[in-house]
């Protein structure tokens, strides 16, 4: 089983990276092959809105690291997508990535193509935030989950880590097991092929 982590934070060794990697670690211990993709290392430019991707089969006209990431997504059985909360929403890096998915998904902004799509990829969506109140951004997080479902990902879990202004995530001993368990369940719940 191949699981990739996508770290939509500008900080390569920040909380998002640590959280996504802990989930991957749990999956790896159960025998999965894992790989982390850091937006801090990738050159992914914003969508130009040219609609070139929906004219013919050439895909997105922007040639950058999005092609590499799309290939990794194609080969993955499951994805762990992590973003920090920035100004009450996902990071700019996360939004740029999602806009670029427009080249590969329904231009109708709906699950219209769901039945026709290839097998759904399982996705764990994880957010982390400075504020300790886990309910503060719940409506936005629910909305984002729904957005990924419209993009035909099967969202299995949405762990939200709060209180990150009190110190780095790795100092939170309670998180180690919880996050690794989420990763190992991803392997255990693997659907038959």
Q: Which residue is nearest to ligand FMN (CB)?
A: 14
Residue (20 or 76) nearer to ligand FMN, CB: 20
Could you tell me the sign of the dihedral formed by the alpha carbons of 140, 143, 147, 152, in that order? positive
- Residues in 5-24 that interact with ligand FMN by CB under 6 A: 9, 11, 14-16
Non-local (6+) Cβ contacts of 91 within 8 A are 8, 9, 10, 83, 84
Q: Is 131 in the site for ligand FMN (CB under 6 A)?
A: yes
The rounded distance, in Å, linking the Cα atoms of 186 and 109 is: 28
> Shortest gap between Cβ of 19 and ligand FMN (angstroms)?
8
Site string (134-173) toward ligand FMN, x via CB under 6 A = ------------------------------x---------
> Shortest gap between Cβ of 22 and ligand FMN (angstroms)?
13
Q: Is 102 in the site for ligand FMN (CB under 6 A)?
A: no
Residue (16 or 77) nearer to ligand FMN, CB: 16
Would you say 156 and 124 are in contact if contact means Cβ atoms under 8 Å apart? yes
> Shortest gap between Cβ of 74 and ligand FMN (angstroms)?
26
Would you say 23 and 72 are in contact if contact means Cβ atoms under 8 Å apart? no
Would you say 31 and 187 are in contact if contact means Cβ atoms under 8 Å apart? yes
Site residue total, ligand FMN (CB under 6 A): 15
Binding site for ligand FMN (CB under 6 A): 9, 11, 14-16, 84-88, 128-131, 164
């Amino acid at each position: 089983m191949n699981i990739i982590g996508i770290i939509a934070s500008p900080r390569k060794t920040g909380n998002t990276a640590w959280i996504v990697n802990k989930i991957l670690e749990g999956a790896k211990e159960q025998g999965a092959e894992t790989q982390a993709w850091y937006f801090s290392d990738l050159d992914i430019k914003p969508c130009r809105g040219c609609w070139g991707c929906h004219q013919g089969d050439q895909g997105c006209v922007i040639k950058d690291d999005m092609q590499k990431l799309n290939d990794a997504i194609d080969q993955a059985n499951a994805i762990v997508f992590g973003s920090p909360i920035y100004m009450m929403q996902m990071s700019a890096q996360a939004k740029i990535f999602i806009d670029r998915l427009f080249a590969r998904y329904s231009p109708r902004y709906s699950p219209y193509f769901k039945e026709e799509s290839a097998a759904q990829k399982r996705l764990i969506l994880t957010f982390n935030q400075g504020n300790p109140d886990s309910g503060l951004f719940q409506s936005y997080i629910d909305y984002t989950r729904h957005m990924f479902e419209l993009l035909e990902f099967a969202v299995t879990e949405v762990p939200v880590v709060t209180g990150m202004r009190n110190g780095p995530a790795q100092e939170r001993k309670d998180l180690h097991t919880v996050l690794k368990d989420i990763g190992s369940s991803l392997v255990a719940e693997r659907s038959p092929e």
